[in-house]
Structure 1
Amino acid sequence: MSKLRCHISISLDGYVAGPNQSVENPLGEGGERLHDWVAALAAFRRAHGGEGGEVNASTPVFEEAIRDIGAAVMGRGMFGPIGGGPWRDEEWKGWWGDNPPYHYDVFVLTHHERGPVEMEGGTTYHFVTDGIESALEQAKKAAEGKDIMLWGGGHVARQYLAAGLLDELELHVVPVLLGGGSRLLDDLGGADVRLEQVRAVEAPGVTHLKYRRVS
């Protein structure tokens, strides 16, 4: 059965993006530092068509994260552009260029209708206006038995966690303090969320904490 999984880098003070996000700086001030650990990996660079890089304790964590993924869900804030609102034109196709790194169907949560956008490499963006449950159900159909990755951002991940729909959560805790921005676990609306720790992996510049939802 398909699982909904989320892997997300987070600062020590609980932020998944820094303050003052913009088109020029989508992760906000200091937010890029949250991803230094993964950008250095040889496995990450290969997955994005690059070369070189490191092999360390984060390597199997990253390789596991991208294994057996058949579809994905993400929020409008992650797809962009910053600020949301109605689609002012059809030119915006995400932050990742003509050949995004996903190579499967991605379901983008939004309040504004837009037709599917097909990209190079097998990525197709679908825009879902009828809520998180609908996006997950569509993703499950597209995944054909494989898992679904919840790519974020923090607001959407929090909604799925509070609704009891997120099966696995892996926090990549980076020893930086951002002091503001987008928080992951700011307000779960009183939801009774129960998790059990699966593992903890210490690696250069990051600690990986994996949790599973307890029914």
Structure 2
Amino acid sequence: MSSIQYFVASSLDGFIATSKDDLAWLLQFDGFEGGKESYDTFMDGVGCIVMGGETYAWLMEHEPGNWPYPSTPCYVFTRHEYAAPPGSDITFVRGHVREFVQDFKDDAGGKNVWVVGGGNLAAQFADAGLLDELILSVIPVVLGDGKRLLPLEGPTPPLELTASRTLGRGVVELRYQFSSGDKPAGG
């Protein structure tokens, strides 16, 4: 059965990007011990990707001509008109995440659905009670401000820590499960 997962990295103070979408603080950690293996293992279980329009635009600007998920169906929530890169399987959608959940799971083919980002999109899944798991790599830097990890209106119920490990350069990977009884209202 497909799970909806938010696999993300944040600073120690809970930001996933600077206020200007700068990821240099994160990219300086590329190649840390265990990072590639963690990502590859995660991606082996992903059958569908969901992202927000800002994340899509960032990828198109910073990875021109290189769509990083060529064989994985992807949905992009946006109000803008974009063209999909050649060879990609991208569907552009508007509306509430709840309207499309069955489509995500059908396209995932029994694998998991990855909410790539940003935080606002992941918060919509959480608010609707649709987020099953948070897989968080905590990067040992403090940004001071920026785009929040999960910008919710209020607190979530307690999440269950299912795994933790320290990777290279002080990165800590934490896996939290939203249990069915602990999801925010709407789930």
* TM-score of the superposed pair, with normalisation by structure 2: 0.83
Q: How does 1:1-215 map to 2 (within 5 A)?
A: 1-19=1-19, 21=20, 27-28=21-22, 31-37=23-29, 39-40=30-31, 56-80=33-57, 95-103=62-70, 104-112=72-80, 114=81, 117=84, 119-120=86-87, 123-186=88-151, 188-190=152-154, 192-205=156-169, 206-215=171-180
Query: Which residue identity does 1:119 align to in structure 2?
Result: P
Matched residues in 2 for 1:142 and 1:118: separation? 19
Confirm or deny: 8 A CA contact 1:105 1:124 kept in the other structure.
yes
Confirm or deny: 8 A CA contact 2:161 2:176 kept in the other structure.
yes
Over alpha carbons, which structure has the higher Rg?
Answer: 1
Give unmatched runs, 5+ long, in structure 2. Answer: 181-187
Identical residues among aligned pairs (%): 30
**1:146 shift after superposition:** 1.5
Provide the secondary structure at the position in 1 that maps to 2:104: helix
When the two chains are superposed, the root-mean-square deviation of aligned CA atoms in Å is 2.3
Give unmatched runs, 5+ long, in structure 1. Answer: 22-26, 42-55, 82-91
Query: Which residue identity does 1:77 align to in structure 2?
Result: E
Confirm or deny: 8 A CA contact 1:74 1:107 kept in the other structure.
yes
**Residue in 2 aligned with 1:45?**
none
Confirm or deny: 8 A CA contact 2:7 2:136 kept in the other structure.
yes
* TM-score of the superposed pair, with normalisation by structure 1: 0.73
